[in-house]
Amino acid sequence: MSIAEAILEILKEEMQKHGAKRLRRVWVRAGKLSMVVPDSLRFCFEVLVEGTELRGAELLVEEIPLKGRCHDCGREFESHTYVFQCPQCYGVNYEITDGQGIYISEIEID
Ligand SMILES: [Zn+2]
């Protein structure tokens, strides 16, 4: 629930900044590592906006796979699980380059 609340706060600020009256849609990028469950995030969001000025807004969640770069051979790769290993040299010496955190990528307002 707290993630949905945080998103809502950002949205309210953005709306104010742009003098927007109505929020149509919001796209959120959720990294695999952020442990966000898209369906439950959408549900929380809908519950939170009900009865507010953001009522009726649609939340779309895009799941971002985990991406990393191998320190041993330099290969960049992605993983759809939480097990991370370089597919080229099978090294486990890597840095995560994407797929962490959650952020708003786009909003559609009136
Ligand atoms: Zn490697």
Q: What share of the chain is helix, strand, coil (3-state, %, to 5)?
A: 30, 35, 35
Report how far residue 80's alpha carbon sits from residue 72's, in angstroms, rounded to the nearest whole number.
21
Assigned domain for 18 exists: yes
Note whether residue 25 is domain-resident.
yes
**Ligand 1 center–CA 76 separation, angstroms:** 8
The answer to whether 37 and 104 are in contact (CB under 8 A) is no
HSE value, Cβ hemisphere, 13 Å, CA-based, for 103? 5
Range(s) of the domain holding residue 37: 2-66+99-109
Asked if the structure places residue 83 within a domain, the reply is no
pTM for this predicted structure: 0.78
Q: Count CB-CB contacts under 10 A for residue 76.
A: 13
pLDDT in tens, 17-70: 999 989 999 999 999 888 889 999 999 999 999 989 899 999 999 999 889 999
Give pLDDT, residue 1.
Answer: 59
For residue 65, how far is its CA from the centre of ligand 1 (angstroms)? 18
Ligand 1 midpoint to CA 95 (Å)? 11
Count: domains in the chain: 1
